[in-house]
Structure 1
């Protein structure tokens, strides 16, 4: 009988976060945006590293607000809303690059929505005359992601969406696995082992990426180790950023069922197929067919399939698969 081990944290995972989300009074008006979900749920798994880019570059509290301003299709700049000669763009870019390059212990970053420094997307951009222009990305986070493209980032407000929440947290835990098992002990063997246990989680997020990285690893031993690792993790994290769907989860569930097709009796197989179909049709959450699948994998599954992180990508106490 094979064993499916739940993911048990030996220590909390280091994650960057906008300081105001922890309740720190660092916003332009002296306020904060305390996040109950980050502090009361995710704090059980994450050890936060707070950053406020605007305070870090010397802006006071309270302070004149800044906003993104761009002429036409030019790259937005962070200017004062009262005095447009106040331009903190370069300082925010430099701080973003500094954190991206130096904070290599981070496994993820949770951002403040709509911020001209920290907003991940849909941040308001204005014409110089004050009229709305388009939407963009905060200056700090743009530089952060350019300096560390593998780092999972997400806005706190978007964590209210069950699919986006699952996507971000799965990426954080996968990246933590990489940091601990491959980056800390580099070898072709550890690289292959990482891919081996992450492959069905990757398939759920991006089937084409799953196939591409499988082909890549077939030839990766011909490359210098550090180059092979760097190319792999960049592509892996890029593919993992795709959102898993009912369709892709169903595909993975059927693949895992295939490992037991010769062992299951007809009634058990039919029970599993019905559970997977109910999930595909949106009648039950993912946790329902997955619980059935785990039950039979413990009895009939191989050690290889029972070690797939797809079965337990994060601690079950988070309950994320009850809502997708």
Structure 2
């Protein structure tokens, strides 16, 4: 993975401090602009402004009319659904280079989930919709990692999203270079311990899938593989799953390390399981062991360095 280059990631424009909201305000995310911008090259969009609306403008919400979601002003006087759908149709193809997207929560255009849907009487019917733009993103780019900015305040969700962005970037680089059997095997080899941590069931399924790459067209196998992988990567990793993965990795170093070094690594893995230390502690000891016992196979593992260390994500999980 090329972590020295910035990765193209979409973002709701208000999160960059642009005054594009209905009240001509913004929702500047200092974490995005101050931390993630070191590694993400943000492409900002405000779907409502892109659809031709002004700022300020009437507040809008989603309403269900005739079995269809419509984006209308809260006073019910204007319907902007067609303008939004036209913007979506024009814009979606240009978003293919993106490796992820950070969305503004609760928005009838950008909200990823839990968006309220109203009936004609102005009462809430349900709260499980996605904004029109966010829903289109999920449909057009099902592999692309999406997250709401507010959820990035959760240590686990933040780490999960950023890990998926870097992994998806690696996959996109593979596709740009050209899909070959060897590149697919190499990709799986780099990320297999990340997969093991996220979902043992999928880990056990994808190995056999790649065991005979001549059984079906390579493109079909690759598509089945990456869809299963990205679904698995959305799952939160439990401490027990991390411990299992750490112990697998430590097993590769068993023969070359001293009894003292092995004991220290195992002690800190157990301390992590007891929630006494963060994940970075046993991870750092494993890396130290690899300097003493060179393991080319382990050095390529994305699990050990899924993103740049200075993001500090494993100090909090």
Question: TM-score, normalized by length of structure 2?
Answer: 0.94
Match of residue 222 from structure 2: 229
Asked if structure 1 preserves the Cα contact closer than 8 Å seen for 2:22 and 2:57, the reply is yes
Match of residue 281 from structure 1: 274
Match of residue 124 from structure 1: 116
Match of residue 183 from structure 2: 190
Match of 1:148 among 141, 157, 180: 141
May I ask how many residue pairs the two structures share in their alignment? 316
Distance 2:99 2:201 in 1: 24
Distance 1:22 1:165 in 2: 18
Give how far 1:94 is off: 4.8
Give how far 1:197 is off: 0.6
Deviation track 1:226-255 (CA, whole Å, cap 9, x = no partner) reads: 222222222221111111221211111011
Match of residue 113 from structure 1: 105
Distance 1:83 1:71 in 2: 12
Deviation track 1:269-292 (CA, whole Å, cap 9, x = no partner) reads: 221111001101111100011111
Is the counterpart of residue 12 in structure 1 residue 19 in structure 2? no
Distance 1:76 1:246 in 2: 40
- In 2 relative to 1, CA 71–280 (structure 1 residues): closer, same or farther, beyond 3 Å? farther
Give how far 1:98 is off: 4.6
Asked if structure 2 preserves the Cα contact closer than 8 Å seen for 1:259 and 1:301, the reply is no
RMSD value over aligned CA atoms?
1.8
Is the counterpart of residue 305 in structure 1 residue 295 in structure 2? no
Runs of 5+ unmatched residues, structure 2: none
Superposed, 1:159-238 pairs within 5 Å as 159-238=152-231
Superposed, 1:31-70 pairs within 5 Å as 31-70=25-64
**Higher mean C-alpha displacement, 293-302 vs 103-112:** 293-302
Question: TM-score, normalized by length of structure 1?
Answer: 0.92
Give how far 1:8 is off: 6.0
Match of residue 3 from structure 1: none
Give SS of 1:70's match: strand
- In 2 relative to 1, CA 183–216 (structure 1 residues): closer, same or farther, beyond 3 Å? farther
Distance 2:116 2:149 in 1: 17
Runs of 5+ unmatched residues, structure 1: 1-6
Give SS of 2:212's match: helix
Distance 2:85 2:12 in 1: 16
